[in-house]
Amino acid sequence: MVHPTGPATSTVAPSPLSRKRASSSGPGDAFQLLEVQENKSEPLSALLFGATKMGLRVLVLVKDIGGTVKQFMEHHRILAMCSVELPSGKYREINEGDRLSHNQTELVTRREELVIQPAEVPWKLSYSVPLRILSFDIETAVPETGLSNPCRDAVLQIGNILKGNENESGSFRVIFTLGSCSAIDGAEVRSFRTEYEMLLAWKQFFIDCDPDLVTGHNIGRFDFMYLITRAKTLSVRVPNFACLGRLKGFDTRVDEGNTSIPWNQAPVLPGRLQFDTLQYFMEREMDKAKGACKLDTLARKYLDSNKEHGVDYTMINGLHAGTNDDRKRLAIYCLKVYPAMRIVG
């Protein structure tokens, strides 16, 4: 079973990228690329986030990239999940006191030292890199208009499934509820007296999980935006909630005043991939009819499953205000995030 691992802060010894040189199972010091960010503190440099065979999360500071980060990526045909190798002796490890991220290993090198397999080339290593995948969904109080406002309407529940890409059967399901809730088979229920306590606990859960890939349905335009804006509304008591990426001191930003955020613009979480199933199917679904890209519709079409579990949005307030069993019914609905997880798989 997959469990939260805690932030990647442990010290490492011998070889920075693979404590046992991976010569028997893949090329030297290699990692699978997760994300690329601009290094705002140093011109003409890029930050490459990745994961290694040994499960280490690595940040590589690449100097002298010869242009913008976009140009650098286009030149090398870089996309997420391509493979990158750093030959021995062609990099330097960054001292712990100078590190930019929460990753276990940080290195610095020059562009010409990188060996990058373009994204269209299959992953060349004879092993797969273990990744942690988190799928989540939130339920909020619903006003009469049907449109929840994070400056006014509380977050009621947050459902989560954490799993590893190499263990299809093993997963960790946990639901955060505002108010008490009856036990749920196969899931951990964490109940809180106040919304502040729940948001603070979920933020710590997210950091402890340290996911490589975050997925869900409309998480970019709704869930992340709502949680971050809601935490700002309670800012006196929910400090640093928006620090959800792997870069130190980087606040995930959202446009609080924009209620028509483009569906393909997600908040930036440095070092973490995001896969929003709504964005994916908005780009690819031929059927543009109203409701065609709802998660329940997609689950029935592609997975012979569904999300709804007999709960309409008009029932949410009543279930939340009801008994422990009522909140359990809502929690089971909120935990139905596995269609997004299965679509990713």
pLDDT, tens only, 265-301: 667 899 998 888 877 777 665 555 555 566 666 656 5
Give SS3 for 231. helix
Q: Return d(Cα 331, Cα 315) in angstroms, integer.
A: 13
**Interior CA angle at 339 toward 215 and 245, to 5°?**
10
Instruction: Classify domain 22-116 at the CATH class level.
Output: mainly beta
The rounded Cα 256 to chain-centroid distance in angstroms is 20
Sign of CA dihedral 120, 125, 131, 133: positive
Domain locations in the chain as residue ranges: 22-116, 132-344
Phi, psi angles (nearest 5°) of residue 85? -120, 140
132-344: CATH topology is Nucleotidyltransferase; domain 5 (3.30.420)
Which comes out higher in pLDDT, residue 128 or 184?
184
pLDDT above 70 covers what percent of the chain? 72
Say what the pTM is.
0.83
Identify the pLDDT of residue 280: 72
Q: Return d(Cα 197, Cα 154) in angstroms, integer.
A: 12
The total of other beta-carbon atoms located within 10 Å of residue 260's CB is 7
Identify the pLDDT of residue 303: 53
Nearest to 124 by CA among 59, 50, 15, 28: 28
